[in-house]
Structure 1
Amino acid sequence: MLRQATDEDVDTIRALRNQQANRDVSITTHEISAEEHAGWWAKTSVDPSRRVLIYERDGRTAGVVNFFDLDAGTGAWGFFLDADGLAETGETLPAWIEVMKEATGYAFDTLGLDELTGEVLEHNTVVRQMNRRFRFTEGEPELRYADGRELTVIPIKLSEADRRKPKETR
């Protein structure tokens, strides 16, 4: 289940984002300080071009979905899961599939987007495979520098017309 993030979620969002597994697959890998995170939340929580959602699984916070650059039918997204907690319970893959289904559904059915974009690091082959499973296409790789390292970032996109449609319940 996805729900809107609130001020009460801020510390949890930061803790999940700072998990080593999430930092390892992010463009910026430094540990985010409380002050940096508070500044981000102060801007993000009032920005009409953004949505921050909490992904809940079995009644507990299991991830965070960020939508940004929302404008006239297009938007970008990213997400991270409670890598440590889900690995401990053996639920990483089912949660990953579920959050992607729910997030792409939210993008197209709730936000009314025609196109959803994002980015993935070239070396993150597992995420790239999952993105393809969800019919995202990859663009031309881009070279970037962040946190003192050189990265190859691949833009991804999914159009509403190409998405996997939810199965109808009977």
Structure 2
Amino acid sequence: MREYKIVVLGEMGAGKSTLVQALAQGRAVSTEVRNTDPSAAKPFTTVALDYGDIDLPGGDRLRLYGTPGQIRFDFLWPILLEGASGAIVLVNADAGPPDQQIRPYLDAVDRHPTPLPVVMGITRMDDASPTRRAACEQWLERDEGQLPIVMVDPRDPMQVLTVMDVLMSQIECQALVACHE
């Protein structure tokens, strides 16, 4: 039996809790509370973590951890990344320049003691204003291809499974390389 710990990072409102709930089929534990941040137009926000535990075929297990997105909770990110198999970083296409959004989360992943496979998910592309959508598309064109990037609606379980397939492929490739070193 193999166990995979996946950590989902990103700014508040990027869709982390929704992604975890979609994969866990609505059975994830949530620590959402009423949002008191007037700069964010969302009624609830995660303050500790979201957690989903999923049995995979063959007896394997997937443990999902959704992090709080606010920078004031950045002390939790390394704790949740401890022992992780991989990470998903979500970027809200309607929330500003993607490179600025992802930097704190990728820095947390980079500080991990061992290299972690990472997939970036771009969310809310359909909701983005034309200006924000254009900025996101320009950023994607400039990206050096260092991370796999997938457009994803975290409410859609099939799209979320695509993100997980990409991440699991990276995790398996990393394990194969490690076996041959």
TM exceeding 0.5: no
Short-chain TM bin? 0.3 to 0.5
- TM-score relative to the length of structure 2: 0.35
More strand by share: 1
Pick 1 or 2: higher relative contact order, CA cutoff 8 A, min separation 6: 2
- TM-score relative to the length of structure 1: 0.36
